[in-house]
């Protein structure tokens, strides 16, 4: 009987310690969310790091850290800095995805980050290197697969399908992109989705294209990285759009 009491007491203490760990980490992470909402990135980042240190499985803390990295990358106009921030963002997002692989936002952002890094490697290649080419292809393929996964989690959210369609279009997988945008249009008919469809139909020579895409970007885009291609002039802006990815 005495042994049973010791076992029960030990189990109670372990459970209490575990609960305190989770609650403490969640409280600190909530403080980090509050600081991030006030645009106080430095203290928010420290709070997220502390939350993850207390509870290494706190995927919400990793998600918060990744968002801060993403904001810095988005506003930076230095490509070397953007690539370094993307690498850091990837590591953090992979931690978040490991602990919550079904979260659509984490899955989407990890996919977009992998695609960005893959495209950065393509731009940075100076010499032929089959190993690096394969790595780049793997990064892009993995990123697109994650975007498909995220869209599958949000079957009726046009923004997720729109993001997937944009990345397929940028990868010159036009037929796949057109199918995705047509599905997105069935969810919500926005100017951005429609203009993507028009551009792709014209590119593919689809008989039902209706109108020819005029090369002007839409103001409906919610993600600056997905600006429509500037194929008819505006080459002075294309570099700025690339830096805004």
Q: Rounded to whole angstroms, how far apart are CA atoms 237 and 234?
A: 5
Please check the confidence at residue 128 and state whether its pLDDT lies above 70.
Answer: no
pLDDT value for 216: 39
pLDDT value for 135: 56
pLDDT value for 23: 82
Percentages helix, strand, coil for the chain (3-state, rounded to 5) are 75, 0, 25
Please check the confidence at residue 191 and state whether its pLDDT lies above 60.
Answer: yes
pLDDT value for 132: 55
Q: Is 112 exposed, middle or buried (0-12, 13-18, 19+ CB in 10 A)?
A: buried
Q: Please report which confidence band the pLDDT of residue 20 belongs to, taking 50, 70 and 90 as the band edges.
A: low
Average pLDDT over the chain, rounded to whole? 81
Q: Rounded to whole angstroms, how far apart are CA atoms 160 and 143?
A: 14
Q: What is the pLDDT of residues 200-244, one digit of tens each?
A: 999 998 655 444 434 333 333 333 333 333 333 333 444 444 444
Of 12-21, 64-73, 210-219, highest mean pLDDT: 64-73
**Residue 54 CB neighbour total at 10 angstroms:** 19
User: Which helix (H) or strand (E) is 126 found in, with range?
Assistant: none
pLDDT value for 99: 96
pLDDT value for 173: 94
pLDDT value for 212: 41
CB neighbours of 112 closer than 8 A, spacing ≥ 6?
143, 147, 163, 167, 225
Q: What is the pLDDT of residues 69-78, one digit of tens each?
A: 999 999 999 9
pLDDT value for 158: 96
Please check the confidence at residue 29 and state whether its pLDDT lies above 70.
Answer: yes
pLDDT value for 222: 37
Q: What is the pLDDT of residues 107-125, one digit of tens each?
A: 999 999 999 999 888 777 6
When pLDDT is averaged across residues 68-91 and rounded to a whole number, the result is: 95
Q: Please report which confidence band the pLDDT of residue 133 belongs to, taking 50, 70 and 90 as the band edges.
A: low
> Any idea which residue has 């199918």 for tokens?
179
pLDDT value for 19: 73
């Amino acid at each position: 009987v005495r042994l049973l009491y010791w076992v029960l007491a030990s189990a109670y203490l372990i459970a209490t310690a575990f609960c305190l760990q989770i609650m403490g980490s969640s409280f600190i992470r909530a403080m980090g969310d509050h600081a991030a909402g006030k645009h106080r990135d430095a203290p928010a980042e420290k709070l997220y790091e502390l939350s993850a240190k207390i509870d290494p499985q706190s995927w919400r803390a990793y998600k918060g850290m990744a968002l801060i990295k993403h904001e810095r990358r988005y506003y930076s106009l230095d490509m070397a800095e953007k690539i370094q921030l993307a690498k850091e963002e990837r590591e953090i997002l992979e931690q978040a995805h490991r602990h919550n692989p079904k979260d659509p936002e984490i899955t989407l952002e990890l996919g977009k980050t992998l695609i960005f890094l893959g495209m950065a490697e393509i731009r940075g290649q100076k010499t032929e290197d089959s190993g690096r080419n394969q790595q780049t292809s793997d990064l892009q393929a993995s990123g697109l697969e994650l975007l498909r996964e995220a869209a599958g989690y949000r079957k009726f959210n046009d923004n997720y399908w729109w993001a997937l369609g944009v990345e397929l279009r940028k990868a010159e997988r036009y037929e796949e992109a057109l199918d995705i945008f047509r599905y997105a249009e069935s969810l919500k008919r926005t100017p951005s989705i429609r203009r993507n469809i028009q551009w792709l139909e014209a590119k593919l020579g689809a008989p039902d294209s209706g109108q020819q895409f005029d090369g002007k970007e839409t103001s409906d885009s919610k993600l600056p990285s997905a600006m429509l291609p500037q194929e008819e002039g505006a080459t002075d802006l294309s570099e700025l759009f690339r830096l805004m990815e």
